[in-house]
Amino acid sequence: MKPFKLIYMVAGARPNYVKIAAISRALNAFLRKHPGVQWKVRIINTGQHYDYLMSKKFFQDLNIPVPYCDLGVGSGTHGAQTALVLERFEKLLLQKRPDLVIVVGDVNSTMGCSLASVKLGIPVAHVEAGLRSFDRTMPEEINRLVTDAVSDYLFTSCEDAWTNLRREGISRNKIFFVGNVMVDSLLSNLGKRTGFPSVARDLGLKKYAILTLHRPSNVDREEDFRGIALALEKIQQKIPIIFPVHPRTAKIMKKTLIGRKLADLPHFHLTRPLGYLDFIHLLKHARLVLTDSGGIQEETAVLNVPCLTLRENTERPITLTHGTNYLVGRRCGKIAAAAFKVLDPRHKRRAKRLRYWDGKAGERIVQVLRTILGA
Ligand code: UD1
């Protein structure tokens, strides 16, 4: 028998790094305080994201320990990418069997690693369980459903997640409401950049909106992208837009006339993907955020910055009821009207306090792990 408990914590894509950073920080603080507890925590990077700015930069910004290994899966179709994750992670699990695998979020790596683990009878803990958009055309919804169905421990970030999981027949004993680890990272890193964001200053901007866009349903086909692009053209006349471009979106920006036209507009500023610290700093000072990301809907709620979500649905409805988020879809008229409304100085909406979005979710996870692993 091993003299210690081995924990593998998996991350593969950009939003995963923000989440494992918080858990890793809480685990390390606990282990420093309790030297008698024999846990070995190893970070496994699947390599789903591999560009420096999408991956390594996040490890540096968030002080995440160097991964024990990188599976180097890279890009591919959903089937090919997931298959590589399964195959390579299984090989690793067979070399040394961990006592627990922690997966986070809803990317292909999350699902692939949870499947490989349960097939070998290794317990899985899923952080950010129970979120549902109820839209099965969204790749992440499938990843969420599968991961939650096979996980042994489901750590949830908000109250509606509990209801979703219970409705799917998951036993209440498996569900632990711990709060939002993404908010842990946000709160602990926000103070690391001060003053007005240099990204905006370098562009000569005093006020600005931020745009992020990468969902396949928005950027893979020109007809889906069109309405959003037309709205952005109108909005940039009112407020300059800073747009850190995701590699997936860079393709449509170059390939289509409307993308190239947008890139040439005077108040539409494209940048490379930003590091975590620069991005949250920019977010904090933004007048408006336009996004199709999941995590940014939560971050803007905590920062109390108006957010327009360029999607027809969200797996994070709590950001609509308690946050600053508005679902605006991808039709030009609706997006532009919502933008002008929230930019009106008379517009007032403050986020309400969200339970357990308090910077302590990582600590709560560690407390549950003590019971699971016995410490
Ligand atoms: C993935 C996640 C999505 C998450 C997003 C954050 C899935 C199904 N999707 O989407 O939930 O919100 O990450 O960014 O897991 N590419 C690069 N360099 C990289 C990574 C990707 O150039 O470092 C390009 C590749 O051409 C690739 C494309 O971007 O084909 C998409 O990458 P992929 O990991 O498949 O999905 P994302 O769109 O990034």
Give pLDDT tens digits for 80-116.
Answer: 999 999 999 999 999 999 999 999 999 999 999 999 9
The CB of 75 under 6 Å from ligand 1? The reply is: yes
Q: Quick one: pLDDT band at residue 1, thresholds 50, 70, 90? A: low
Å from CA of 337 to ligand 1 middle: 30
Å from CA of 49 to ligand 1 middle: 6
Separation of alpha carbons 339 and 231, rounded Å: 9
Give pLDDT tens digits for 262-291.
Answer: 999 999 999 999 999 999 999 999 999 999
The CB of 74 under 6 Å from ligand 1? The reply is: no
pLDDT above 70 covers a percentage of the chain that reads 100
Mean pLDDT value across residues 292-319: 97
Mean pLDDT value across residues 190-213: 97
Contact assessment for residue 316 and residue 294, using Cβ atoms and an 8 Å cutoff: yes
CA 221 to chain centre: 23
pTM (predicted TM-score): 0.97
Q: Which tokens in the block code for residue 366?
A: 């560690």
How many angstroms separate the Cα of 33 from the Cα of each of 30, 77, 173? 5, 44, 28
Residue (of 300, 312, 314) closest to 354 by Cα position: 300
Q: Buried b / exposed e across 31-51, counting CB within 10 Å, b at 16+?
A: beeeeeeebbbbbbbbbbbbe
Tokens 């517009």 map to which residue? Answer: 347
- 10 Å CB burial of residue 79 (0-12, 13-18, 19+) is exposed
Give pLDDT tens digits for 11-60.
Answer: 999 999 999 999 999 999 999 999 999 999 999 999 999 999 999 999 99
The CB of 215 under 6 Å from ligand 1? The reply is: no
Task: Determine the number of helices (DSSP H) and then strands (DSSP E) in the chain.
Answer: 17, 13
Residue nearest to atom 16 of ligand 1 (CA): 247
Would you state the pLDDT for residue 2?
72
Q: Quick one: pLDDT band at residue 349, thresholds 50, 70, 90? A: confident
Q: Which tokens in the block code for residue 63?
A: 């002080």
Tokens 């620069």 map to which residue? Answer: 278
Catalytic positions are 214
User: What is the position in ligand 1's atom list of the atom closest to the CA of 110?
Assistant: 15
Flag whether pLDDT at 215 surpasses 80: yes
**What's the mean per-residue pLDDT of the chain?**
97
